[in-house]
Structure 1
Amino acid sequence: MMLDTAAWHDRFVQQASWTKAMRQHLYTQIGLTVDQRILEVGCGTGAILADFDPAASVGIDTNFERLEWISDKQVQCADGHNLPYANNSFDITVGHFLLLWVANPALVIQEMQRVTRPGGFVLALAEPDYGGRIDYPEELAQLGQWQQEALAKQGADPLMGRKLAGLFVVSGLKNIETGLMGGQWQPSNYVPSRQGEFDIVNHDLRGSIEESQLEELRKLDTAAWENGERVLFVPTFYALGQVE
């Protein structure tokens, strides 16, 4: 199943809703103000750019179609491995579900650091670790393993979360803080999002398993949410560091 830009936008908004509290914690930690100049690397359709003043924020992404979705922000089609900005251009640079998708995460962090002024901050707002995924009931555990394998085939690093702290340490950033997003569940909140979640799973697993197998797992998943026993937790890490 191929997803169009509207479906990806819905996914990015959903991810942003999951990490809202964690982002607010990080913004408080760095003393974010509305006049600070901010760059988001890998901005997608702008779900995280919505956190910032349009006059003071810029987003870049390699996917032009997703950038076209954004009408009220400054955006540019560019690659995080080679940012088209001078040294010290921004107060803060951020990424959200970014580093797992890039070929060289250390280089992207280095570039984010380069374009951030001394005293400014580099933030990895969310990086998942699918190797630590928890699924219950146990019949659904295979779903997580299949998704991890499928993401790796797409070029992603499904274990990026556990590597994040080390990447920030070796980057030379200072005053580093790393941590893990908690999980709180209210089954009723997942009812509208279940189909969207399975659209993503279907996209990730296309060609890897039979449709009938996936449909059987979807039915098990739906039943588990409805009877209140479903657990789905993907450890999601964050990191911030200050530029010297």
Structure 2
Amino acid sequence: MTKESATYTHGQHPAVLRAHAWRTAANSAAYFLPHIKPTSTVLDVGCGAGTITVDLAQRLSDGHITGFDSDPTIITQAQSLAASQGTTNVTFTAGDANALPYADNTFDIVFCHQLLQHVGDPVGLLREMKRVAKSGGGIVAARESDFGSWVWYPETEGMEDWRRLYMRVMRANGGEPNAGRMLHAWARRAGFERDDVRCSTSSWCLSTAEEMSDWVDAWAERTEAKDSEFARTAVEKGVAAREELEAAARAWRALGASELGWNSVPHGEIVCVKK
């Protein structure tokens, strides 16, 4: 069985989970919603706490969705979320996405959200997603952030330093922070023909006082907290000193302190058809 070689940069710190809880089908999966039918069978690879998964399940009146993640603890949280909402057409399973425990041609739709940026072999994982998608029109979809394209206002001292620091840490962990712009190329290498890959982009835009406060707090905390996976690996791998992490967190808080604070988070998206 193939084992994941990269380390998940964010970990499951409370600040990360707070940010992830905001994700829904509407704000994170709109690009492939037209392909979902009430009877669809769907696999969410790297489902995390399951907010997108459970939201999609409620659109499948006669279908079923499976959430799959490497972390058994986060799977337990996803199961609790589904139970709290009375959602029964969803199953959650833990394992390594590089070797999915499903037969060929099992699912109508196989998708992932902000997963490929964190893995050591994104092409191989897309190939595995393609394997379990149904032949003759099954869909493989992915949406990945592109950290080199993040935009904020106003220009805030230290934010570009944060971007460079983040990219160093993710790459030291085996990931790719600019995954959004690479998705189409990875899909081609995974075996999809050019005309079978549909590309799009969309962004999260944080602009209200509440949105910016929550967003900034989450990023500042995960950047400097000593119990944060991001901060721990940055220091242990010699990528950043504690002082750099604390300065980056201050930059985030300075951005959030502005009444004009605004942040755009672009994503690349692909919808691939398996013939």
Classify 1:237/1:231 alpha carbon distance in 2 versus 1 (closer, same or farther; 3 Å): same
Q: Distance in 1 between matches of 2:186 and 2:214?
A: 36
Match of 2:198 in 1: 177
Q: Distance in 2 between matches of 1:151 and 1:78?
A: 22
Q: Distance in 1 between matches of 2:27 and 2:246?
A: 37
Shift of 1:96: 0.4
Q: For residue 240 of structure 1, what is the amino acid of its counterpart?
A: V
Which of 44, 48, 52 is the matching residue for 2:52? Answer: 48
Identity %, equivalent residues: 20
SS in 2 for 1:192: helix
Q: For residue 193 of structure 1, what is the amino acid of its counterpart?
A: W
Shift of 1:183: 5.2
SS in 1 for 2:102: coil
| Root mean square deviation, CA, Å | 2.4
Residue 126 of structure 2 corresponds to residue 104 of structure 1: no
Match of 1:23 in 2: 29
Residue 222 of structure 2 corresponds to residue 200 of structure 1: yes
Which of 209, 212, 215 is the matching residue for 1:190? Answer: 212
1:48-78 deviation per Cα after TM superposition (whole angstroms, max 9, x unaligned): 2113327611111111111111223311111
Q: Distance in 2 between matches of 1:185 and 1:5?
A: 21
SS in 1 for 2:117: helix
Classify 1:235/1:182 alpha carbon distance in 2 versus 1 (closer, same or farther; 3 Å): closer
What is the correspondence of 1:204-243 to structure 2 with a 5 Å cutoff?
A: 204-206=230-232, 207=235, 208-209=240-241, 210=243, 212-214=246-248, 216-224=250-258, 227-228=259-260, 230-243=261-274
Number of equivalent positions: 235
State TM-score, norm by structure 1. 0.85
Alignment gaps of 5+ in structure 2: 1-9, 83-89
Shift of 1:22: 5.5
SS in 2 for 1:69: helix
1:106-159 deviation per Cα after TM superposition (whole angstroms, max 9, x unaligned): 1111111111111110010x2112122334414122121111112222222112
Shift of 1:102: 1.2
Match of 2:41 in 1: 37
Q: For residue 52 of structure 2, what is the amino acid of its counterpart?
A: I
SS in 1 for 2:29: helix
Shift of 1:212: 4.8
SS in 1 for 2:144: strand
